[in-house]
Structure 1
């Protein structure tokens, strides 16, 4: 079975967008039926999948802050690669 990592990160980014900079999960305990913070009408990931991706992203933040910032910019904030490169002062390699 092949997994579309970019697709997973895109869906994760939609859920992470409304909580950028908060470092809190998007769903409180017992509130699984709460409305999403964004108005996107897309296929959503399960809470368990979102929590697992959040855990991995948190590990990335601890291991490589620049890669973490690139990932958040690209998938959660939906900033273009060119803008990310300009802000972080890096070049596309």
Structure 2
């Protein structure tokens, strides 16, 4: 069983380095100006894995756009869960639950692809 948090961290680094063909916004909706632009090096997934995860993220956007935005904000942009919770004016627990559901969707989607 894979650790989806690590998989999505690697994918986020891959997508942020402009390898993603989906053309993610450089800043997720509503998060412009919250984080300083930094070029720290992160471990990236390879292109094959990145493309597979991109497909799953695109399916998530079709069904649950709020959870999609949460994944982009946290893993690609690098916003903390607390920052996202403050922006949405809800509790950290609510954001964690949404993140867990989104990660479960992506994991299930990856299982169906393999």
TM-score by length of 2: 0.58
SS of structure 2 residue aligned to 1:40: coil
**Residue in 2 that maps onto 1:40:** 41
2:73 aligns to what? 73
In structure 2, runs of 5+ residues without a counterpart are 25-38, 94-114
What SS does the corresponding residue of 1:23 show, helix, strand or coil?
Answer: coil
Note the residue ranges of structure 1 that are not aligned, 5 or more in a row.
Answer: 26-37
The root-mean-square deviation of aligned C-alpha atoms, in Å, is 2.2
Number of paired residues?
Answer: 77
TM-score (norm 1): 0.70
8 Å Cα contact 2:13-2:42 kept in structure 1? no
Matched residue SS, 1:9: helix
Match of 1:29 in 2: none
Decide which structure has the larger Cα Rg and report it.
Answer: 1
Deviation at 1:91, TM superposition (A): 2.2
Q: Does 1:17 align with 2:16?
A: yes
